[in-house]
């Protein structure tokens, strides 16, 4: 049997690994005398309080390191291959697959279909279970790796086989029962396709999955994404506002049922349903702690609440600052401050935030509320249409650099352009079409600021607080 070797690419500063003089370029051979198949083995074996690592240095010397640590304390090691094994591609041919709707000529990694259970554990990816071996399912149970995020789509075995174009897709649902019986936490997802798995089929799927509570912790329902590149693919119709209203009625009915019986709302609607139906977002309590936030469920409500909280705090700070000036001692300072504010209002600062069609209405509301408190700053919301993938794709995370350049180049963008971080490849300043932030800045001739997804960061970006910090440092 060939023992796998796992090359280390990074060691976290101040970590146990750094203290043990483990370095990038070293190779991990075994933990407690056991070779590692992949990241599942690594996380399980390294959770113990006492470890023996066998490390090979670049010069070929082997070190045996004895380590004592807290249970589940991380060693601070990153490997060249995050899975410590080959990535497993998806063998399904789902009728709604977004990757099949991608235009030609993009970078190769965007065409890779992953359906790897290890990515579900590590990164929160959703898996269909059809590409999960029984051995991997057993290891998940043995190692208690959770949560596992599952793309269910339907609990009708025959329909699931048709939707995934995989004759084993119905049988794969049995793994949900297996995980439930073993007490493994799960989250479910339904990509809803009009006339396929909606209506009665949606009712059936929600009902069936409630049987796996509490270990099936949540279920999200999101609409299928349809690009303009669907030639020769399975015909799917877009949902109408009326359709969206019916979907929400179904979800709200089951939320009420689950809350009364199980004390959780369980099933949640993606934000797009509310925007399409023209309905208000639910209150924060209805999202059960935003358990499906990364799946586009509750992002708008959370952003709104966080932003308004930051705005209220800013108002209170402004009022406190004003109270300090209500004395004869500071009368001249108050007059000077008034003159400075008047000059700022006369020469208002202008900031533009670019987003997709989905988030634009909410951002306009936030901008209007912000301007009431900060009249010297003008916030312009630029709604960018997705010409690259097609007008039906409305999320900001799928906007490209070329669409931003084309549609913003004729606008007066003011002092700076704000872009949400989800437009960029993780950890890099590159858009989906490989245009860089630097290239876009040169094209638009305006500084670009990348904004984190929380409301506090958006408020501070509107406030130009980063600019003030930069100026104060000079």
User: In which residue are the tokens 């059809």 written?
Assistant: 130
Confidence band, pLDDT 50/70/90 cuts, at residue 45: confident
Q: What's the rounded mean pLDDT across residues 202-220?
A: 98
* Cis check: omega of the bond before 228, within 30 degrees of 0: no
Asked whether 255 and 283 are in contact (CB, 8 A), the reply is no
> 87-96, 200-209, 359-368, 381-390: lowest mean pLDDT where?
87-96
pLDDT for 155 equals: 98
134 Cβ neighbours under 8 A, 6+ residues apart: none
Where are the chain's structural domains?
A: 6-79, 99-297, 300-473
Q: How many CB atoms lie within 10 A of CB 370?
A: 23
Q: Is the pLDDT at 373 greater than 90, yes or no?
A: no
pLDDT for 176 equals: 97
Provide the token pair at 218: 């949540």
> Which sign, positive or negative, has the C-alpha torsion 33, 39, 45, 49?
positive
Q: What is the pLDDT of residues 313-369, one digit of tens each?
A: 887 776 665 555 444 445 445 545 555 555 455 457 899 999 999 899 999 999 999
Q: How far is CA 254 from the centre of its chain?
A: 25
Q: What's the rounded mean pLDDT across residues 264-288?
A: 95
pLDDT for 144 equals: 87
User: In which residue are the tokens 């909280």 written?
Assistant: 309
Q: Which fold has domain 99-297?
A: pyruvate-formate lyase- activating enzyme (3.80.30)
| CATH match of 6-79 with 3.30.70.100 | no
State the average pLDDT for the chain.
Answer: 87
pLDDT for 341 equals: 55
Provide the token pair at 241: 């506002």
More confident: 329 or 458 = 458
């Amino acid at each position: 049997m060939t023992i796998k070797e796992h090359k280390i690419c990074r060691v976290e500063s101040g970590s146990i690994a750094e203290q043990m003089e483990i370095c990038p370029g070293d190779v991990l051979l075994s933990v407690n005398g056991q070779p590692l198949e992949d990241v599942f083995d690594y996380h399980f074996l390294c959770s113990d309080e006492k470890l023996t690592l066998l490390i090979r240095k670049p010069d070929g010397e082997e070190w045996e390191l004895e380590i004592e640590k807290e249970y589940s304390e991380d060693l601070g090691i990153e490997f060249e291959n995050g899975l410590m094994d080959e990535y497993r591609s998806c063998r399904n041919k789902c009728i709604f697959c977004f990757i099949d709707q991608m235009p030609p000529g993009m970078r190769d990694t965007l065409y890779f279909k992953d359906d790897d259970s290890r990515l579900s554990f590590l990164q929160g990816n959703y898996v269909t279970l059809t590409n999960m071996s029984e051995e991997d399912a057993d290891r998940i149970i043995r190692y208690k790796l959770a949560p596992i995020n599952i793309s269910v789509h339907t609990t009708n075995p025959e329909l699931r086989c048709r939707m995934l174009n995989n004759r084993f897709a119905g049988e794969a649902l049995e793994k949900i029962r297996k995980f439930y019986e073993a007490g493994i936490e799960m989250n479910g997802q339904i990509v809803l396709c009009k006339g396929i798995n909606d209506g009665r089929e949606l009712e059936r799927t929600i009902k069936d999955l409630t049987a796996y509570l509490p270990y099936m912790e949540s279920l999200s329902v999101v609409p299928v994404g349809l690009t303009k590149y669907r030639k020769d693919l399975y015909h799917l119709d877009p949902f109408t506002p009326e359709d969206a209203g019916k979907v929400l009625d179904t979800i709200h009915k089951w939320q009420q049922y689950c809350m009364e019986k199980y004390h959780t709302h369980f099933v949640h609607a993606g934000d797009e349903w509310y925007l399409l139906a023209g309905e208000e977002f639910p209150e924060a309590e209805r999202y059960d702690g935003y358990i499906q936030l990364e799946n586009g469920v509750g992002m708008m409500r959370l952003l709104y609440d966080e932003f308004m909280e930051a705005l209220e705090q800013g108002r209170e700070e402004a009022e406190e600052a004003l109270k300090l000036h209500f004395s004869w001692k500071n009368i001249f300072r108050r007059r000077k401050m008034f003159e400075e504010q008047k000059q700022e209002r006369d020469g208002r600062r202008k900031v533009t935030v670019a987003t997709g069609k989905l988030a634009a209405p909410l951002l306009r509301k936030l901008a209007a509320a912000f301007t009431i408190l900060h009249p010297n700053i003008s916030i312009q919301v630029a709604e960018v249409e997705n010409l690259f993938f097609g007008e039906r794709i409305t999320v900001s995370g799928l906007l490209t650099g070329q669409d931003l350049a084309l549609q913003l180049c004729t606008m007066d963008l003011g002092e700076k352009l704000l872009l949400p971080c989800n437009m960029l490849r993780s950890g890099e300043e590159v858009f989906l079409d490989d245009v860089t932030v630097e290239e876009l800045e040169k094209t638009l001739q305006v500084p670009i600021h990348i904004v984190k997804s929380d409301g506090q960061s958006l408020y501070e970006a509107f406030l130009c607080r980063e600019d003030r910090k930069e100026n104060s440092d000079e």
